[in-house]
Structure 1
């Protein structure tokens, strides 16, 4: 007999594995990549890897390093959120509070994380990804003649120098190089021993493929120095699987689930004409095949990378290639998720009741009315509350209990808002106060409770 747990953590079924390998093979052939590795994470466990290579007998595996480019930014964002959670900074702080950088001092930490600081897309000097970091030895050296191209906070404009500044911020507040901080605070706790700033064998070599001929050219792999936080890291499918599991559920040794949820919440409006994508705090957001995915893509000369997580499906897809261009790496990683989700839909955990029924909580459940509109308030098995319209769409939210007896909205219209229970006579609550809105047990309840009062003659016919 197959149990739920065994099924959730087992490797995909043969037909699913074939479909996954076919997608990786198509990606390698159509993208003309020297090699391509794919991986799937389910319920936090690496359950499948597959690869294709142009060299017979030398296919890479989950322990082969590739350069992951801008996926580095999500790691740096985790470091910044750790600083925030420790009280060493606020996301609303102007950068000038912590770093002497006149070119970007007015931008906030959150704007740097979400690429809304208005900074230029690239640093000064020659193509930074293919030249030594020694060309930009100091933080101020990342700025060109026009460091700011938009007013801060006005629009999303992807900025690699912005993440160079965040790396410098980490160094300033930790008193150590950002790479050392990353290893100590993130990589080691998560068991990511194959992720590093410099390549470690076995690793793939980076290649450019000629656009009009089936010939290749080796790409340089420079240490980008101050620009490293924008795209320096090397990693493996196995290590990225561990990072995907962390992005899904959090790890209190590194960053909690609430802070990770904050990172993947849309921080800016999508670009004009691109309503299937967005950006959070160091995290890319996309819709693919009707699914909401978060993660990041990356590219450096000779390499492409992508990691997507689907919280609803409890799945993650990873794709790595050693080609400067060609494979649609983001689509490949997203397709790996879609293949598993469609071939083997997630089996939900069994419903289980509360271990103990609290009479005070039970008294809150049932119908409530916002004016004349009926709502249902349910008590969930995790002792949270869920408020939703009795019919149709509307302001539905879940709520978490707080030590002071109030409740905090977790999502929807009332996210972050406070729900208070106003006591009545006996054990029955009189009404609910939700962000100043009053919910009563009957439509337009007693006079004196509903703001503005209720007509003393009450309900009547025409």
Structure 2
């Protein structure tokens, strides 16, 4: 459901419109549409120029290219959550005979399977999928260019394999599975494999003249799971909300969080650009703000869907030209404009409903060797450990119900935190994955591995 645009301040709406107007004009594209979501709802839609003589609204379809990969990744994670596969399984276990079977499903999702970026033969984006009727036509005689699992190398054939995996385990075509399991539950009624009116046509704009050439819109056949879909700003805005919050009808919040967690070693160029890759999702460091989503392109179309979890703001940008504007830059700017003009209002602070004396006893200052940290107890039931000053290891911890806590992020993700008590019940120290935290630096009498020098702290004359 789209909420009134008045939810954004007039100055913010004008700044958003100005950004896409500049992008459409300077990028020389026939049309450009965009949407912004905040707090789980669409709060703005903008469009510049025309499609078939009309200003396009949020329901006009554009081809979204590789954003399709994120939809395919959702289908694979559903198979995992149902227990039909493990992400660590080699592809060969479920889809034998491809020649790329040693790559795991997780590696294919993260583009670390060693596969080539493109399919051999004619330019697959501009030729019919009927020219590649078999996986061997998509992969070629030597599918692997790099050692499996050692390098992030973006691969369209890798997502062809994942689409074929979905078809093998579901026993029906990829698009039918996608419609039933993702599109219909999320209400993405204007997302489809083939264009449905109203939709934009794809154009190439001459680089040195204000002239245009229509681009072909081919059915990609087996390559469809890598880039076939058409969609709208309204549908992609809803999809972005799902990828941020989860929806138990499709994927849980924990599974979509796993998708947007870095899973691939970055190339040197990617490190410079601040780009990483999760499981079917790109992660971009945009001026210190982490944006997650995916971009896409096919001849005649460019697309981007990005969101900032910390700001709870997302943006979708679609345009119908082969090159010109840069949707990822535009989407990043749209998120920034809203985040800076109308920063997120924090939820009200509230105290704990109940105070557990055994937990409250642990709150306060601790030392790992000579590093000072603070343990805090939050109203949401989590505890956190973080440096008292400066940068360093930090994490929140979830209670396990037995007096221990499990780390949720960073260096301590998955690690166990527990209070070690003396025979009289008082706390001797905290144990965090074997690291000892004491109330004083190398506290005398505490059970510190290696012991504490009995002469204590001293100066050197």
TM-score range, shorter chain: over 0.9
Output the CA distance in 1 between the equivalents of 2:91 and 2:226: 17
For residues 39-118 of structure 1, what are the structure 2 equivalents within 5 Å?
39-54=35-50, 58-118=54-114
446-455 or 113-122: which moved more? 446-455
- 1:53: Cα distance to partner? 1.4
User: Is the 1:124–1:145 contact (alpha carbons within 8 Å) kept by the matching residues of 2?
Assistant: no
443-452 or 313-322: which moved more? 443-452
- Aligned partner of 1:384 in structure 2 is 382
Output the CA distance in 1 between the equivalents of 2:367 and 2:144: 51
SS of 2:45's equivalent in the other structure is strand
SS of 1:226's equivalent in the other structure is helix
Cα 1:403–1:98, aligned 2, differ >3 Å: closer, same or farther? Answer: farther
Deviations 1:420-440 (A, max 9, x none): 232345654332211111222
- Aligned partner of 2:421 in structure 1 is 423
- Aligned partner of 1:193 in structure 2 is 189
60-69 or 179-188: which moved more? 179-188
Could you tell me which of 119, 126, 137 is aligned with 2:122? 126
Q: Does 1:254 align with 2:250?
A: yes
- 1:227: Cα distance to partner? 0.4
Output the CA distance in 2 between the equivalents of 1:56 and 1:99: 44
Q: Does 1:181 align with 2:177?
A: yes
Could you tell me which of 152, 155, 158 is aligned with 1:159? 155
Could you tell me which of 325, 328, 342 is aligned with 2:326? 328
Could you tell me which of 145, 149, 152 is aligned with 1:149? 145
User: Is the 2:428–2:446 contact (alpha carbons within 8 Å) kept by the matching residues of 1?
Assistant: no
- Aligned partner of 1:277 in structure 2 is 275
- Aligned partner of 2:296 in structure 1 is 298
SS of 1:273's equivalent in the other structure is helix
For residues 447-458 of structure 1, what are the structure 2 equivalents within 5 Å?
447=445, 449-458=447-456
- Aligned partner of 1:17 in structure 2 is 13
Output the CA distance in 2 between the equivalents of 1:278 and 1:140: 29
- Aligned partner of 2:234 in structure 1 is 238
Could you tell me which of 302, 306, 309 is aligned with 1:308? 306
Deviations 1:132-161 (A, max 9, x none): 212222223211243111111221111000
Give structure 1 stretches of 5+ with no counterpart.
1-6
- Aligned partner of 2:337 in structure 1 is 339
324-333 or 260-269: which moved more? 260-269
Output the CA distance in 2 between the equivalents of 1:203 and 1:151: 42
Output the CA distance in 1 between the equivalents of 2:418 and 2:220: 53
- 1:242: Cα distance to partner? 0.5
User: Is the 2:20–2:32 contact (alpha carbons within 8 Å) kept by the matching residues of 1?
Assistant: yes
SS of 1:74's equivalent in the other structure is helix
- Aligned partner of 2:372 in structure 1 is 374
CA RMSD, 1 decimal: 2.1
- Aligned partner of 2:358 in structure 1 is 360
Output the CA distance in 2 between the equivalents of 1:286 and 1:317: 14
Q: How many residues align?
A: 456
- Aligned partner of 1:212 in structure 2 is 208
- TM-score, normalising length from structure 1? 0.93
- 1:461: Cα distance to partner? 5.5
Give structure 2 stretches of 5+ with no counterpart.
none
Output the CA distance in 2 between the equivalents of 1:383 and 1:453: 34
Output the CA distance in 1 between the equivalents of 2:175 and 2:424: 60
Output the CA distance in 2 between the equivalents of 1:9 and 1:209: 32
Deviations 1:351-393 (A, max 9, x none): 1112222222212211222223322100011110100122332
User: Is the 1:408–1:416 contact (alpha carbons within 8 Å) kept by the matching residues of 2?
Assistant: yes
Output the CA distance in 2 between the equivalents of 1:147 and 1:88: 26
User: Is the 1:289–1:338 contact (alpha carbons within 8 Å) kept by the matching residues of 2?
Assistant: no
- TM-score, normalising length from structure 2? 0.94
- Aligned partner of 1:400 in structure 2 is 398
User: Is the 1:8–1:43 contact (alpha carbons within 8 Å) kept by the matching residues of 2?
Assistant: no
Output the CA distance in 2 between the equivalents of 1:296 and 1:403: 38
Deviations 1:231-271 (A, max 9, x none): 01111100111011111221222222222222222222332
Q: Does 1:221 align with 2:228?
A: no
Output the CA distance in 1 between the equivalents of 2:105 and 2:206: 40
237-246 or 350-359: which moved more? 350-359
